[in-house]
Chain A
């Protein structure tokens, strides 16, 4: 089974702190994603990466950066956390294979971040 893990389920940080959220997948997937989930808005893509050291902006990249130094690990960084970044953050991964299960994204359990 594909397993996507995230470093924390719950996190409380203060305004202005630098925050690291880490995601690890064990299926050798090429693609990794960071989403933000807010009530009534669904999931919105922050950044994604299709290869090591490669990244592309999603729909809401402002205030965030990412790092992918190894294929299995994708980190989301909040350089200076603000209260409007309080949210649920979901990591996902997928393969670029064109097989039957291609393009399905597998999700981690989420990190609920509160910025006070």
Chain B
């Protein structure tokens, strides 16, 4: 069965600094998608970034980028120039075969200090 592991329950970063959130997953499939979702306090979960497994190039979305290491089954999220609005729970998720079922990690709570 596929699993997603986020080993950092909590992280903190100073405003304007860079932080990296870790995620590893376990699968025997070769074709899949990986996502990072952000859940701000008392607000809706939104997609931050996505990565298709067949693409070797790491995805980037403005200040957010990933380090996708397929062989190592690692999918970390880097947030550059951190802002106060980046404070949230971040969930790593794997999209299983059939492209319907998302499997989530336990989440990492990110605090951003001014």
Q: Determine if chain A interacts with chain B.
A: yes
One of B13-21, B68-76, B95-103 at the interface: B95-103
Q: How far is the CB of B5 from chain A (nearest CB, A)?
A: 10
> Which of A26-50 touch B at CB < 8 Å?
31, 33, 35, 40-45, 48, 50
* Alpha-carbon separation in the docked complex, A43 to B35 (Å): 14
Residues of B within 8 A of A17 (CB): none
Residues of B within 8 A of A96 (CB): 99
How many residues of chain A get a CB closer than 8 Å to chain B's CBs? 24
Given contacts A40-B106, A42-B107, A108-B44, whether A102 and B99 have CB atoms under 8 Å apart is: yes
Q: How far is the CB of B72 from chain A (nearest CB, A)?
A: 21
Given contacts A107-B45, A108-B44, A109-B43, whether A42 and B91 have CB atoms under 8 Å apart is: yes
Residues of A within 8 A of B4 (CB): 42
Given contacts A43-B91, A103-B33, A103-B95, whether A90 and B45 have CB atoms under 8 Å apart is: yes
- 15 examples of A-B residue contacts, CB within 8 angstroms: A31-B100, A33-B102, A42-B105, A43-B93, A43-B102, A45-B101, A94-B100, A96-B99, A103-B33, A103-B99, A104-B47, A104-B50, A107-B46, A109-B43, A110-B44
